[in-house]
Amino acid sequence: MAMGWLDPLECKAARDCLRQGQLEEAARVLLTSKNREHRAVRRLLVEVGRNLVARATREAEADQWELVAKTLEIASQCITLEGEALALQNRALRALAEKKRREERQLEEQVKIREQVSEAKRLASSGEFTLALELLARWETQGGREVTAAIEEIRLSERRFGTAVRACEEAIERGDEGLARHHWNTLRQIAPEAPQVKRLAGELARLAARGSRSAVDRGRPVRGRSEKLLMEGVGIILLGEEVVLGSAREEVHLPILGRIHRRHAVLLRDRQGWQLVACRDKYGEPCLVKVDGHQVSDVCRLADGNVVQLGEDKCRWRFRLPVSGSLTALWEALPDSTGSVVVPSTGETLKRVVFLVDELSVRPSAPAHIVREDLPCRGLILRWEKEGLHWDVEGGSAWAEIPGVTWTSSDRYVYLPSRLIIEAQWDEAERLGRMIAEPRQTEHVTLVFRQC
């Protein structure tokens, strides 16, 4: 159509868009024109509308109903849809509505399948493998790979669980506590809430109790600040406000193997921290005590990192406050130190002592009082509260095995003797990632507490 010299300028722009097949842009130019009632604009709107209807017909032949609906919506602003064009628009709207209903049904079905898979896995974690498989069998045909994978996983878990139960029972019957515990840990990983896990835990604890050296090994909670305990892999733990350091021949709080006096020095705790006091020898002279090379004649306030020497020999110790804000301190022999702490009950020697004030944190990485890279959780906390010494585990599960008391995960007292078993709470993806990134971490660790 030739352009009249009096036609609005937007008519030329619309014709250019028509020649380039840009129907939507041509419609936009004309519909936003200030001269909508101009004869040339109206004629072009009709032409654009008809072209849009023709394109929508081609889109319908390709079952592209979203495009059909969009194209006819623009066409309806250019012309009045009638006859076949109106019927095509209604057909497109019905097709879209049906598609939406199908998608909603599919979404509802997917949600239902996920719920059933989740419920089946919960049943399996409780040892109800048969019920879990029966539940998923109803959805196997329409559930697709998700249900099939869940069924295979539960069947494998059922076989592993049954094998581990039989192996654990046989090991308990033979009295092989170590092997029984290995199989029992496998059971806890597969189905932690299964009744067999709790039953075998009791049998395992009774087996441990029968293996105790004597009746006095029956576990008892740590309830007094005067207690002294040994935590294997960590060191001796002292809870009191006053610690007497002296010769291993004497009954002192901290018996040290080395050439020192029977009562050589005293560590005192107050609200500000720790002080070191030099004792007097039989001649009334202060025992030789040096802090960072400077002799202590009476009282010295200790700070993190101080090196303390007791006597003339290289009986040297480092005083540490590893966690800011905590008065819990470490007393560690230097690598070249000739001194060591004696465990009175066994005669073994150690190179570390913990003075527990508020709490003792054991974590895989600093900040912590004790760093253990193999710990399968974010941290183990020993915390002194008014009624006694308690344990708590962050980012993992744990339970205590106590001779004569069997096992418990709700009573958080530290018992002597006892074993605290800490287990990871990792899913399969996290377990694989940790094996690669942190190979020193294990899935469970056993910590032993006993009387000094």
Query: Do 255 and 282 belong together in one domain?
Result: yes
Query: Do 364 and 403 belong together in one domain?
Result: yes
Q: How far apart are CA 307 and CA 316, in angstroms?
A: 7
Query: Do 69 and 151 belong together in one domain?
Result: no
pTM greater than 0.75? no
Q: Which of 298, 327, 352 is the last residue of a domain?
A: 352
Query: Do 155 and 293 belong together in one domain?
Result: no
CA atoms within 13 A on the CB side of 106: 7
In a domain, 193, yes or no: yes
Supply 246's token pair.
């002296």
Per the rule left: phi > 0, alpha: psi between -120 and 50, beta: everything else, 426 is: beta
* Domain ranges, residue 153: 129-210
Cβ–Cβ < 8 Å for 425, 359: no
Phi, psi angle pair for 182, to nearest 5°: -60, -50
Tell me what pLDDT residue 2 has: 46
Query: Do 250 and 321 belong together in one domain?
Result: yes
Burial of 245 per CB tally in 10 Å (0-12, 13-18, 19+): buried
Alpha carbon dihedral 309, 310, 313, 316, in 10-degree steps, equals -40
Query: Do 325 and 363 belong together in one domain?
Result: no
Tell me what pLDDT residue 440 has: 55
Tell me what pLDDT residue 441 has: 58
Tell me what pLDDT residue 214 has: 42
Query: Do 274 and 335 belong together in one domain?
Result: yes
Query: Do 254 and 277 belong together in one domain?
Result: yes
DSSP H helices, 138-216, are: 140-174, 177-190, 195-210
Question: According to the 3-state scheme, what is the secondary structure of 366-411?
Answer: CCCCEECCCCCCCEEEEEEECCEEEEEEECCEEEEEECCCEEECCC
Query: Do 63 and 18 belong together in one domain?
Result: yes
> What is the full per-residue pLDDT of the chain (452 aa) written as tens digits?
445 557 788 888 888 898 898 999 989 988 988 888 888 888 999 999 899 999 999 999 999 999 999 999 999 999 899 899 899 999 999 999 899 898 888 888 888 888 888 999 999 989 999 999 988 888 877 767 888 888 988 999 999 999 999 989 988 888 877 778 888 888 988 998 899 998 998 888 788 767 654 444 568 899 999 999 999 999 999 999 999 999 988 889 999 998 999 999 999 999 999 999 999 988 889 999 999 999 998 899 999 999 999 998 899 999 999 999 999 999 999 999 998 999 888 889 999 999 999 999 999 999 999 999 989 999 999 999 878 999 999 998 888 877 766 555 567 899 998 889 898 876 555 555 555 555 555 677 889 999 88
163, 281, 312, 353 from 252: Cα distances, Å: 52, 16, 20, 14
Cβ–Cβ < 8 Å for 422, 396: yes
In a domain, 334, yes or no: yes
Phi, psi angle pair for 43, to nearest 5°: -65, -45
Query: Do 76 and 143 belong together in one domain?
Result: no
Q: Which of 322, 352, 382 is the last residue of a domain?
A: 352
Cβ–Cβ < 8 Å for 418, 407: no
179, 211, 291, 393, 418 from 398: Cα distances, Å: 19, 22, 41, 7, 13
In a domain, 50, yes or no: yes
Number of domains in the chain: 4
Phi, psi angle pair for 394, to nearest 5°: -105, 130
- The string of pLDDT tens digits covering residues 397-447 is 888 877 766 555 567 899 998 889 898 876 555 555 555 555 555 677 889
Query: Do 254 and 326 belong together in one domain?
Result: yes
Phi, psi angle pair for 280, to nearest 5°: -105, 140
CA atoms within 13 A on the CB side of 3: 13
In a domain, 87, yes or no: no
In a domain, 91, yes or no: no
For residue 27, what is the enclosing H or E element? Answer: helix 23-31
Per the rule left: phi > 0, alpha: psi between -120 and 50, beta: everything else, 270 is: beta
Q: Which of 296, 327, 352 is the last residue of a domain?
A: 352
Tell me what pLDDT residue 438 has: 57
**Which CATH number do you get for residue 277?**
2.60.200.20
Query: Do 250 and 333 belong together in one domain?
Result: yes
Tell me what pLDDT residue 211 has: 60
Tell me what pLDDT residue 215 has: 43
Q: How far apart are CA 157 and CA 188, in angstroms?
A: 12
